[in-house]
Copies of this chain bind each other. A is one copy, B any other.
Amino acid sequence: MTQRRYSPIKIKTAQAHQCTISSRLRILGQLPFFQDLAEAELVQTNMMFHEQGYHAGDIICLSGDPADHLFVVADGRVKLLHHALSGKEILLDLLTPGEFFGSISGLGGDVYPDTAQALSTCCILVINRDAFQQIIRKHPAVSLKVIEIMSRRLQAANERVQLLSTLPVEGRIAFLLLRLAAKFGEKHDVGLLLQVPLSRDDLAGMSGTTTESVSRVMSQFQKDGLVRAGRGWVAVTDTKGLELIAGEKAW
């Protein structure tokens, strides 16, 4: 087995302090919910954010803590997770630049619903919750976008409930890999390389199973030529094959 022994992942991460004003404007302008804003409004909105840098492993916000900020990923990768009573980590989502998390809704005594942790060096834009509500009040277009995004996330969560309820481990992992490939996949000589540092543990947390089971399934997938994987990285090589396992096995 001559297989790569180094991680092919190269996430282009800016240092926290490299989030210049202009790059911030660019990032904000790319945000789905600021798309419809005029340039002047965008500049003004931009000023309401401040930025913050994190290193891989840093906790950005902790589930249960009093919540008064909304965060936007400007650069890097962030994972959203829950800690179950059993100690197991439930991985809820992986966020890329342009996505938001934290506190949006307006109740006074709100707490962060999930924990957010930096997967790589990150630049995060932060805004006060109330300030963001002001933006929403001023710009109905923004609120419509937010609603749209949240409804998509809700759909994704429901889809996941369905997978957990119906598919066996093998199918769940296949499905998960396909989703990840669609979001993070980049053409590479080893296949569609997922541009996120993901351990078997992370995959387990996303597919509702254990590290060992993921390892077993991944080994099998690799034997079957569906994926290539190493320590902390995964690449999808046969999309069709995974689709077959994710879908058809449900019958």
Q: Contact: A158 with B251, CB < 8 Å?
A: no
**Total contacting residues, chain A, CB less than 8 A:** 42
Q: Which of A13-21, A101-109, A120-128, A229-237 contacts B (4 or more CB under 8 A)?
A: A101-109
Q: How far is the CB of A89 from chain B (nearest CB, A)?
A: 10
Q: Which of A48-56, A79-87, A184-192 contacts B (4 or more CB under 8 A)?
A: A79-87
Binding site secondary structure of chain A = helix
Extra contacts, 14 of them, besides A105-B147, A143-B144 (Cβ < 8 A), are A82-B158, A84-B162, A86-B166, A92-B161, A104-B151, A105-B151, A106-B144, A113-B154, A114-B158, A136-B143, A137-B140, A137-B144, A143-B143, A161-B161
Q: How far is the CB of A132 from chain B (nearest CB, A)?
A: 10
State in angstroms the CA–CA spacing of A1 and B126 once bound together.
61
A-B pairs with beta carbons under 8 Å apart, 11 shown: A84-B162, A85-B251, A90-B162, A104-B151, A107-B148, A113-B154, A137-B144, A150-B150, A150-B151, A154-B154, A157-B158
Give which listed residue, B105, B157, B166, contacts A84 with CB less than 8 A: B166
- Please name the 9 residue pairs, one residue from A and one from B, whose CB atoms are nearest each other, closest first: A165-B208, A157-B157, A105-B148, A143-B143, A137-B140, A164-B164, A85-B250, A150-B150, A105-B151
Given the complex, which residues of B lie within 8 Å of A251, measured CB to CB? Answer: 85-86
Give which listed residue, B90, B114, B165, B166, contacts A166 with CB less than 8 A: B90
Point out residues on A near B: beta carbons under 8 Å: 82, 84-86, 88, 90, 92, 104-107, 113-114, 133, 136-138, 140, 143-144, 146-148, 150-155, 157-158, 160-162, 164-166, 208-209, 247, 250-251
Given the complex, which residues of B lie within 8 Å of A86, measured CB to CB? Answer: 166, 250-251
Give which listed residue, B155, B165, B250, contacts A164 with CB less than 8 A: B165
Given the complex, which residues of B lie within 8 Å of A114, measured CB to CB? Answer: 158
Q: How far is the CB of A11 from chain B (nearest CB, A)?
A: 26
Given the interface pairs A85-B251, A166-B84, A251-B86, the reply to whether A150 lies near B154 with Cβ below 8 Å is yes
Q: Contact: A158 with B92, CB < 8 Å?
A: yes
Given the complex, which residues of B lie within 8 Å of A162, measured CB to CB? Answer: 82, 84, 90
